Amino acid sequence: MSKWKTVRLGEICSLNMGQSPKSDTYNNNGMGIPFFQGNADFGAINPNINHWCSEPVKIANVDDILISVRAPVGALNIANFKCCIGRGLASITVDKSIAERNFIWYMLKSKIDELQSKSNGSTFKAINKTTLYDVTFPLPPLEIQKQIASSLDKVTHIIDLCNAIIEKMDFLVKAKFVEMFGGINNSNLYPYHSVDTFTNVTSGGTPERKNNDYWDNGLIPWIKTTELHNNVICEAEESITEKGLNESSAKLVPKGTILIAMYGQGKTRGMTALLDIESSTNQACACILPCDKLNTIYLWQYFVLSYDKLRDLAKGGNQPNLNVNIIKKFPVLVPPITLQEQFANFVEKTDNSKSAVKQILEKAEILKKSLMQEYFK
């Protein structure tokens, strides 16, 4: 806020850039002190010990904030013991007479995009000590910092609690499936049939981006794999025109179609969605068309629960992909339709409860974002 003095991070904290020790000095048998090389060692709050170092070069102390300074930049953890840090990390020691550690933690959370925009490097993007030193922010009196951190802690707790409840509800659905059907991909209670024995599978396409006639004022929903989060889709982020549909490989698929991401960054490959609207999709979406032989909710949840199995079937080198033929031949457990409907009813009731929790989660995330902008921008 304008009434608070603006400071740079390096003016109120000690910054210690990591340096990797000699390779023959770190180990996985507990000799020395814990050694963290980068973001891959981070947990939710505190890092996970995978290696130790007998001759550390750079050391972080208990309660130091650890920040990833390369590939990717900005991830945060807190050291809960003395440790050795490699070149992928920096440690931040907060002067507690001036600043509240959790206040600095949240401030850095709010600066992740800014830090990433200032990273350099062709192979691995990284920031240096100067960039970290020059992070600027308004610094209120210590007591107000503590109040701000406490408020953000409470909102964060609500967010964490909501996410934990949603995770448990997802586990309940999986447990119910196993209880009713004996397993997901390895049941011996009922037969498996490939998708192409009961319905058709197609894919979409992308109209030429440079042709405005394909996009401007479009009214036909067009779904991308980034919109697939094991969710029900009621609207699309983008739309195409009738001309864009007719003059490209994009095609309309009906409400009730199950979408599967065949490729994409990170966790995207294998993610699903259920269309609640008629829509078109891009070429990275496999579209399993509705059929009358299987309950739609049952079939959709079967693919949600088969996420790991689907990803394992992907082909290719550095970025393995699924394809339409893999989806067509994917084996689906087919119990009697009455049992499918019973399971679908359980899923719908669980989803209603999950939706209520998600509404609370969304409000809490909006509140946290608003508070972060108020305090740190």
Q: Residue 313 forms beta bridges with which residues?
A: none
pLDDT value for 122: 76
pLDDT of residue 359: 96
CA torsion 247-249-252-258 (nearest 10°) is -170
What does the pLDDT average to over 16-23? 94
Kindly report the pTM of this predicted structure.
Answer: 0.80
Q: How many CB atoms lie within 10 A of CB 300?
A: 25
Instruction: Give 53-109 pLDDT, tens digit per residue.
Output: 999 999 999 999 999 999 889 999 999 999 999 999 999 999 999 999 999 999 999
Question: In terms of DSSP bridges, do strands 280-281 and 220-223 run parallel, antiparallel, or are they unpaired?
Answer: parallel
- Residue 125: exposure state from Cβ atoms within 10 A (0-12, 13-18, ≥19): middle
**Contact predicate 18/91, CB 8 Å:** yes
Residue pair 54/29 in contact (Cβ under 8 Å)? The answer is no
Domain 5-139 has CATH 3.50.50.60: no
pLDDT of residue 317: 64
What's the chain's average pLDDT? 94
Domain ranges of the chain: 5-139, 141-185+335-377, 191-333
CA pair distance 331, 217, nearest whole angstrom: 41
Please state the CATH superfamily assignment of the domain spanning residues 191-333 in this structure: DNA methylase specificity domains (3.90.220.20)
Domains 141-185+335-377 and 191-333 share a fold: no
Name 91's bridge partners. 16, 66
Confidence band (pLDDT; 50, 70, 90) for 3?
A: confident
Q: What is the pLDDT of residue 264?
A: 77
For β-strands 285-288 and 280-281, DSSP reports them as unpaired
For the segment 220-270, what is each residue's pLDDT rounded down to a tens digit? Answer: 999 999 999 999 999 999 999 999 999 999 999 999 999 999 987 778 999
Domain 141-185+335-377 of CATH type 1.10.287: yes
Q: Averaged over 271-286, what is the pLDDT?
A: 97
Structure tokens at 184: 């997901």
Contact status, residue 119 vs residue 73, Cβ threshold 8 Å: yes
- Residue 1's pLDDT is what? 53
> Using an 8 Å Cβ cutoff, are 283 and 321 in contact?
no
What pLDDT is stored for residue 318 in this prediction?
Answer: 65
